[in-house]
Amino acid sequence: MQPPPLKDDCFAMPPGVDWTPVDRALAQLRERLHAVTPVETVALAAAGGRILAEDVNARRSSPPYANSAVDGYGLAHAGLPEGEICTLPLVQGRAAAGGPFDGVLPAGQALRILTGARLPDGVDTVVLEEDCSVESDRIAFRSGLRRGANTRKAGEDVTAGADVLAAGRRLLPQELALLASVGVAEVPVRRRLRVAVLSTGDEVLDIAAGPARDAQIYDANRPMLLHLLQCWGCDPVDLGHVRDDPETVCAAFDKGAARADAIITSGGASAGDEDHVSAVLKAKGGLQSWRIAMKPGRPLALALWDGVPVFGLPGNPVAALVCTLIFARPALGVLAGAGWLAPQGFLVPAAFAKSKKAGRREYLRARMREGRAEVYHSEGSGRISGLSWAEGLVELGDEARDIVQGDLVTFYPFGAFGL
């Protein structure tokens, strides 16, 4: 027997193995997936966090009428007298938000008006109260006031009938405010995507199950993934943990496919004797790709189980999170009806040096300090504390590269992944 030579790098690309580049795997996902969630109509108050299913038009203009932008005095610009000082008599009454002035303001006179009040007929300009000297029956201010000053036009933000939001938009608080302002009381939205989460491994123990034995580790992935899905507006389905047994894994997949629109599992996605996730997916689930040329996270299973997409993540928590952010998030976006959610990265100076090999993409835990990207001191995918230390990921492309401090690198803050 002639064993192969020892290698210093456990992530070195083995000869003769077809490694799938990150971009190719992403392209396959984007091409093959489509929205699976049905449409329902809900009240605006219940629409927060939901995915808009159809384009929405404004029912009403915003503002619905011309109004005052300040507290002051309304007047007709054409009626202003000549001279350095403008003096105008005040009419009785006032215009306030919700309490409009009933009548027409004659030219050459002024009316007390408050912020948000509808401009009465005869008013096209407002002078700030701070710019005026006021007596009981007249005001005076310096000339130079422009026509239309301190007013808002009807529909200057949105006009009735205009498109305000497109299908696929996730409704955040600011979107709810916009829809309310243009009179939209109900919206068509997608049902929340249901995503099942399963942990596998004989060595893994649920934290609620009591003290772990020496050969056991607590399940860090499942609580992480379940909360991650909540952050993304999904309905997580907890399938719990199963042991490394093919029949048990198959049963868990059957349960997940019956209850959810997608399944995420961690552990058992590699090619070892006890890696039953990849084995059962290959036998029944139409395994598409499971050796991704990336670090961390090369054992990634992408498959269908009874028509339900399955994302088989590595067992190490760092690799599991990175694979979820890079692959599962954009894919789940398509399934949920939000479209492909590609993260927005930023070029920033590196605060580190590194010599990177060709042939794989690398993601480093990173954070921004003094305008530069620092990386975690260890690249080990079992160093969970590095996830809490980090504020995002630095992405290094597939090509070889020698990075020195100050070189530009791509930084993805966790916010770019919806966190």
Q: Judge contact between 312 and 275, C-beta under 8 A.
A: no
DSSP 8-state symbol, 328: I
Q: Kindly state whether residues 46 and 177 are assigned to the same domain.
A: yes
Residue 218: predicted pLDDT? 81
- The CA-CA-CA angle for residues 337, 340, 344, to 5°, reads 135
Q: Kindly state whether residues 148 and 211 are assigned to the same domain.
A: no
Q: Is residue 16 part of a domain?
A: no
Q: Kindly state whether residues 315 and 226 are assigned to the same domain.
A: yes
Q: Judge contact between 360 and 11, C-beta under 8 A.
A: yes
Torsions phi, psi for 320 (to 5 deg): -65, -45
Q: Kindly state whether residues 82 and 102 are assigned to the same domain.
A: yes
Residue 273: predicted pLDDT? 44
Which residue, of 288, 307, 336, is where some domain finishes? 336
What residues are paired with 165 via a beta bridge?
A: 56
Output the domain CATH number for residue 409.
2.40.340.10
Which residue, of 152, 173, 202, is where some domain finishes? 152
Q: Kindly state whether residues 206 and 309 are assigned to the same domain.
A: yes
Residue 78: predicted pLDDT? 94
Distance CA 323, CA 314 (A): 8
Q: Is residue 84 part of a domain?
A: yes
Q: Is residue 277 part of a domain?
A: yes
Which residue, of 336, 356, 390, is where some domain finishes? 336
Residue 132: predicted pLDDT? 96
Side-chain half-sphere of 335: how many Cα atoms within 13 Å?
24
Q: Is residue 3 part of a domain?
A: no
Q: What one-character-per-residue DSSP string does 240-255 give? A: EEE-S-HHHHHHHHHH
Q: Is residue 9 part of a domain?
A: no
Q: Kindly state whether residues 49 and 183 are assigned to the same domain.
A: yes
- The string over 275-298, giving b where at least 16 C-beta atoms fall within 10 Å of a residue's C-beta and e elsewhere, is bbbbbbbeeebebbbbbbbbbbbb
Q: Kindly state whether residues 268 and 321 are assigned to the same domain.
A: yes
Output the domain CATH number for residue 321.
3.40.980.10
Which residues constitute the domain of residue 401? 346-417
Q: Kindly state whether residues 170 and 46 are assigned to the same domain.
A: yes
Which are the contacts of 39, defined by CB distance < 8 A and separation ≥ 6? 53, 54, 188, 189, 190, 191
Q: Kindly state whether residues 114 and 224 are assigned to the same domain.
A: no
Distance CA 327, CA 363 (A): 13
Q: Judge contact between 281 and 301, C-beta under 8 A.
A: yes
Domain count along the chain:
4
Q: Is residue 7 part of a domain?
A: no
10-residue stretch averages of pLDDT, the chain, 419 residues long: 53 62 88 92 96 97 96 96 94 94 94 97 97 94 95 96 96 97 97 95 79 82 95 95 86 94 80 63 70 81 86 88 94 95 96 93 96 92 90 96 96 96
Q: Is residue 15 part of a domain?
A: no
Q: Is residue 12 part of a domain?
A: no
Angle at which helix 276-284 crosses helix 246-259, to 10 degrees, equals: 60
Q: Judge contact between 123 and 111, C-beta under 8 A.
A: yes
Whole-structure pTM value: 0.85
Q: Kindly state whether residues 406 and 389 are assigned to the same domain.
A: yes
Output the domain CATH number for residue 111.
2.170.190.11
Q: Kindly state whether residues 324 and 203 are assigned to the same domain.
A: yes
